[in-house]
Amino acid sequence: MKELLQTLGPVCAVIGAQWGDEGKGKVIDILAEHFDVIARACGGANAGHTIVVNGKKHVFHLLPAGSLHEKKILLGSGMVIHLPTLLEEIQTLRDAGIDVVPRLSISAGAHIVLDYYRDIDGVMEQRRTETSGGKIGTTKRGIGPAYIEKAARSGMRMGNLSGYFSSPIKADLGKELRVRKTLAKEMFGVDVDTTTEEANLRAAYDTVGSCVIQMDEVFTLLQGTGKRILIEGAQATLLDIDHGTYPYVTSSSTTVAGALQGLGLPPKMLTSCIGVAKAYCTRVGEGEFLTEETGEIGERLRERGGEYGATTGRPRRCGWLHMPDLNFSTHINGFSCWNITKLDVLDEEDIIRVGGPRGTDGTVTFTELPGWKTSTRGITAFEDLPKNAQTFLRLIEERTSVPVNFIGTGPGREEMICRS
């Protein structure tokens, strides 16, 4: 592990290579103890990272997956934060004996997701369905409306909290909420409970108001001498607003470039980028999925992989690994190495299929490999894997020209092969 850490360098990003849900949280959790700052850059509570430690499951939506370690935590300017969700996560960790507030920093530039944004999200999805005949498949967590307000320069940011509650000349929060209430009703038919919104903002200010830092303080936190920074990406490359499978994407920049922008880090500081992909593939929501299996195989992968959303609980669409997607994500992000997760989910398959380019008839061509038909669960050395599993992983390396250095063999923190 020591040699592998040296190759990663002091500033490492972990970025999903598919449509999210690849299992980024586990490698982040494993690496976090070796870094000084764990930074979440973009997105909001539409993300869900699950960590299993000593058999206990921890699900994070806003806090970084590395929060279980005693490290500095930063929520960057690229994020949109639903404050009740953040406070709930903080309290859940407190109940487990972990208080993150003393080591938590939140960029003043991060935007706030107000409760009523979630209702607007639902209305917008319904309108899309009625007018275009199709929906995006949003999580309805208010993420899209928050980024719309951000782009329109009318959003509410974390840095505004002190102006509402502690500035000698307080901003008129009541007036702002009343204006928002009128607009939400006129434009979307959505009611805004201004009392609840104000109470949520007040509770957040009381709990994390002291954690909000200005951009110059973010620079100091991230660019101090000798700092080791682990950057946690949210969602994944194929959901990127610019480079993903538009319009079936999220509302933020999910690539490593988006992460650096969301944190205010210069690109030259990045020393490595880990691409995370499942040994198969999943997708939630709508949009093209060229290697999807809709029958018995897809159901088997779903059940063995527990493919139900950490955020929504909805079943994920399942299918095979698609090499053109991995190569595209490699091109966009410049991956240094792969973390291939959930290898054990394929343990019972007779044939492992790997999607390739489209043929002349427009359909995907497949390479078929023999399965290994034996358990890989909990294996921690590459040499101990079945030969057919090793062949499968080497195929990924050969076709992407990126080494597979991390291999997940189960949900537990310890069930990971770390290979230099």
Q: Please list the active-site residues.
A: 21, 49
- Whether a cis peptide bond, with omega within 30° of 0, leads into 247 is yes
The Cα 37–Cα 74 span in angstroms is: 7
Instruction: Tell me which amino acid residue 58 is.
Output: H
| Residue of 317, 16, 316, 314 lying closest to 141 (CA atoms) | 314
Tokens 């953040």, located at residue: 86
| Residue of 60, 54, 22 lying closest to 407 (CA atoms) | 22
Cα 125 versus chain centre, distance: 22
Residue 382 phi, psi (nearest 5): -60, -40
